[in-house]
Structure 1
Amino acid sequence: MGKIYKTLLGYGVAEVEIKKSKFIGHASPVASEEEAIKFIEKIRAEHRLATHNVYAYVVGENDEIQRFSDDGEPSGTAGMPVLNVIKKQELKNVVVVVTRYFGGILLGAGGLVRAYTKAAKMGIDAAGIVEKIPAKELELTFDYNLLGKIQNELLRRDYLIKDISYADKVIITLPVVEEKVSEFKNFITDLTASRCDIRVKEDVYLFKKDGKYIL
């Protein structure tokens, strides 16, 4: 599976006014260049009366695709600063669009760079930076008399339970960080005296924000 990298948790938007111009930073995670382009087109449609819709995006595990556009602003004052914000934060699979509604006061080259940098950073902060960590989805199947013990230990150790189903036996589905799957299997086997069936289902990702795992 892939490696750990930083990206965004979801869509974020933030607005700032600088010398009567309104700058709106939009940021979102994407899985492909096609998704990035669709996001840009969506923002353009929503803000078709804006003076500029500047964008930048980085896609790929090794930043294979990097694109930006000044959208009519002086060369180097808009798209590249937005791209630099993404790269400085070491984000992958991310698109940022900064919408500008001109307020009648020229900002100059330095002012534009600072304004687009600030709006991009605000949009990214609103979206929330997370680590995306390769994991495996595991399925635990066991008798009802083990439910309390297993559930309590999973919660005590901060494992995230995705689902619990109740049929002939209890089935708990949860993600486990890829490199800790073997350790987890040993822990469950010892806890239940080998009375729990453990099945590895599929590759998934966990998100880590502020030191805590989230689904």
Structure 2
Amino acid sequence: MKSIENITQYTTIIKKSEFITTLIPCNEIEQVESLVAKYSKSDATHNCVAYIVNNHEKANDDGEPSGTAGLPMLNVLQRQGLENIIAIVTRYFGGIKLGAGGLTRAYTNSVADALKEARIVEKECVAKYRIDVDYHYSKKLSYLIQAKNLPLVDTIYDEKVHYILFLKDTSFIDEIQELTANTFTYEKIGEDYIEIA
């Protein structure tokens, strides 16, 4: 799956109107609404949105003439073969009307130019695990995780040490079993899209 690595912003001025494009990587359809609300500007003339997240696609013109903003933005994302991405183009009207063709070009180019600034990466869906070990084994396990270059999300210390990490290959769990003389616990706690190293 192709997506963007980080949130990317790009601004362009077209006939005195300011177009600010915000590209946001997003893996959960449930997060779309809050991310759109967070990155839309309440004082702007329009906040047009297009997204492709987990096979859900949507385009919104936010008051621009129908079909001149959201759909052209969505078309750019589709043509680039991108997924799990939200594009918001915030427009501050500069007083000169662009007409339907001019608006379509402006919104298309805003997203296309922002994508040139973004880092496009390949991502894959990988299982996320929590592995709990005694402090006695934490140094060895930390070393093993680092040596194998595994994507570690978090380490939590309480009565035990809890490692939250992504695992493509569960044979690593067998290694921990050996390392800890089978005194550890583990649980699959979900999955997420991560960049392919």
Q: TM-score under structure 2 normalisation?
A: 0.72
C-alpha RMSD of the superposition: 3.5
Spell out, residue by residue over 1:38-66, the C-alpha distance to the aligned partner (whole angstroms, 9 max, x if none).
Answer: 5545555x33342x33222334x3x2x42
In the TM superposition, what is the alpha-carbon distance from 1:119 to its structure 2 partner? 2.3
Report the CA distance between 1:11 and its aligned residue.
Answer: 4.7
Instruction: Indicate conservation of the 8 Å contact 1:138/1:174, yes or no.
Output: yes
**Does the Cα contact within 8 Å between 1:140 and 1:197 map onto a contact in 2?**
no
Q: Report what 2:175 is aligned to.
A: 187
Q: Which residue of 2 aligns with 1:58?
A: 52
Greater CA drift, 105-114 or 130-139:
105-114
Q: Which residue of 1 aligns with 2:106?
A: 115
1:180 Cα offset (Å): 0.8
Aligned length: 194
Q: What TM-score comes out, normalization by structure 1 length?
A: 0.68
Aligned CA distance change for structure 1 residues 36 and 206 (closer, same or farther; 3 Å): closer
Choose the corresponding residue for 2:191, options 194, 202, 205. 205
- Match for residue 47 of structure 1? 42
Which secondary structure does the structure 1 equivalent of 2:169 belong to? helix
Counting aligned pairs with the same residue, the percent is: 30
> How many angstroms apart in 2 are the aligned matches of 1:90 and 1:76?
21
1: CA distance between counterparts of 2:57 and 2:193?
A: 23
Deviation per CA, 1:85-142: give whole Å up to 9, x if none: 2323444444322122233445455543332123224556777656252313131424
| SS of residue in 2 equivalent to 1:136 | strand
- Aligned equivalent of 1:138: 130
Using the alignment, how far apart are the partners of 2:151 and 2:34 within structure 1?
32
Query: Per the alignment, do residues 41 and 73 of structure 1 end up closer, same or farther by CA in structure 2, a change over 3 Å counting?
Result: same
User: Unpaired runs of 5+ in structure 1?
Assistant: none
Secondary structure in structure 2 of the residue aligned to 1:180 = coil
Query: Which amino acid in the other structure matches residue 174 of structure 2?
Result: N
Q: Is the 2:126–2:194 contact (alpha carbons within 8 Å) kept by the matching residues of 1?
A: no
Question: Structure 1 residues 93, 154: closer, same or farther in 2, change over 3 A?
Answer: closer
Query: Is contact 2:47–2:88 with CA below 8 Å preserved after alignment?
Result: yes
Contact 2:27 2:192 in 1 (8 A): no
Q: Which residue matches 2:161?
A: 171
